[in-house]
Amino acid sequence: MEQEIGLIGFGEAGSTFAMAGDWIDAARVYDIQTDAGATRDAMLARCARAGVRAVPTLADAVTPVTFILSLVTADQALAVAQAAAAHIAPGALYCDLNSVAPQTKQAAARAIEAAGGHYVDVAVMAPVDPARLNVPLLVSGAHADAARAGLARLGFTNIRVVGEAVGRASAIKMIRSVMVKGL
């Protein structure tokens, strides 16, 4: 793979995508679970099974790459974006695939953009398993077209740009979820 990826978070979504995309040696993975003794070995084993490189710090996952995927728990999405902003390379694309409110995505975008990175809101519109890289993705933000191209290079096949406003993709996901659950 010609594109190196910074992958923040290696839970179900991150590990599923990495294995489906065969991102062997292309992904530099940081997950907070490698920091805790009780979960470190299991997370390192998960990374080894996927063939990706576990790195010891968030800075190590973000600094050397220009294409970053954030796949953390919703309660950590903003804090992770703010921490990543301290290390992001100028012009790097930060694709936020976390399921959070549009306002949270906008706050994360401000942090990334202020540091010189390019923030992109990505909404994952279905469960990642069994769809894997065929899962529908909605992408929004000023750099959505560049993100769409980068995601396609990673093997994602169902990507739709929905506008230049950060938060639009997440808003569509939220509205859709409310309607589906309401029915």
Task: Please write the tens of the pLDDT for every residue from 150-160.
Answer: 999 999 999 99
Q: Does the pLDDT of residue 183 top 60, yes or no?
A: no
R_g (Cα) of the chain, nearest Å: 15
**DSSP letter assigned to residue 131:** H
Which residue spans within the chain are E strands per DSSP? 5-8, 27-30, 53-54, 67-70, 93-96, 118-124, 137-140, 159-163
CATH T-level fold of 5-182: Rossmann fold (3.40.50)
Q: What is the mean pLDDT of residues 111-127?
A: 97
Q: What is the mean pLDDT of residues 12-39?
A: 91
Q: What is the mean pLDDT of residues 145-174?
A: 96
Which residue spans within 16-152 are E strands per DSSP? 27-30, 53-54, 67-70, 93-96, 118-124, 137-140
pTM: 0.94
Closest by CA to 119, choosing from 139, 98, 94, 150, is 94
